[in-house]
Amino acid sequence: MLNLALGAMEYGTRIDEQTSFRLLDEYVDAGGEWIDTANCYAFWQDPSGHGGQSEELLGRWLAQRPGVRDRVKLATKVGCEPLWPGSWPEHSEGLGAQAIDAALETSLRRLGVDHIDLYWAHRDDRTAPLEETVAAFGKHAAAGTIGRLGLSNWALWRVERMRDLANQLGVMAPSALQLRYSYLQPRPFVRDHIHDHRFGWITDEVLDYAENNPEQQLFAYSPLMSGGFENRTDRPIDPAFDHPGTTRRLEALTDLAESLGTTRSAVVLAWLAGGTPAVTPIVGISTPDYLTTALTGTRLTLTPDQRRQLDEVW
């Protein structure tokens, strides 16, 4: 299977149903397995101010393709749905037991399935007792409605505290982490300015943690920086990455991509998927060309020398 997840965040809102279905079909036919969404996608693009459109579209796609459910793994999230239109991020559903119960029931109904393969806590909720959150996820895992539990945008010390509590309670512990990551690195202490999540970035500490805890699978969102690697004038690289290291890394990336006859984006995906520890990139695929890039990158194997060419640039 491809070490790639299809990000369906904008399916059902910005990306229309016909295009979404085509991309999903082509992804699965190419050997793709993971499809990643969230119960809050995409509240900022829908007039209602609430999410659910992506899950609903995926449910319609699955219903019209008997047997395809057995070929894919579904990942969705709980925790960030606004309580009312415009209330994000100050007021969202959070991770209390009632919120988790209601969100999971709704996601299962929208998707038309009896279980979620990987259920993400979308962000930490420090207003909810962690014991309550752990017990709620554990209850659904024991019932078979959650196959695995993952944490997105959590500080590592909270990840470990949750794992310890899960072990004490004898319930499922998290086995996946989802954070933002790419070949370029932002300047220190500006990470909360490039995304809504303070701890939403894979750092050296996270990589070391995953390498020494192999049961923890790493997923990376926004690996292609919204098209920033392809010199798109409408998608400039965020100012948080404006430093000499970015210039040097882009030069190395360009040299390697040209020598391989491929794109910089494809090389970035190969670098992520084939590294140690391996990172599963989540790519928001909106056009057939993006899908081709994603497939090319995850099928590309970099030699040790080529990886050094990229890694030794600081």
Which residues are part of the catalytic machinery?
41
Cβ–Cβ under 8 Å, residues 40 and 85: no
CB 150 within 8 A of CB 178: yes
Q: Look at residues 69, 68, 40 and name the one whose alpha carbon lies nearest to residue 54.
A: 40
- Residue 222, helix vs strand vs coil: coil
Give φ, ψ of 289 to 5 degrees. Answer: -65, -40
Beta-bridge mates of residue 118: 75, 148
Q: Which two tokens stand for residue 125?
A: 């909720």
Instruction: Phi first, then psi: give them for residue 11, nearest 5 degrees.
Output: -70, 125
Helix (H, G, I), strand (E, B) or coil at 53: helix
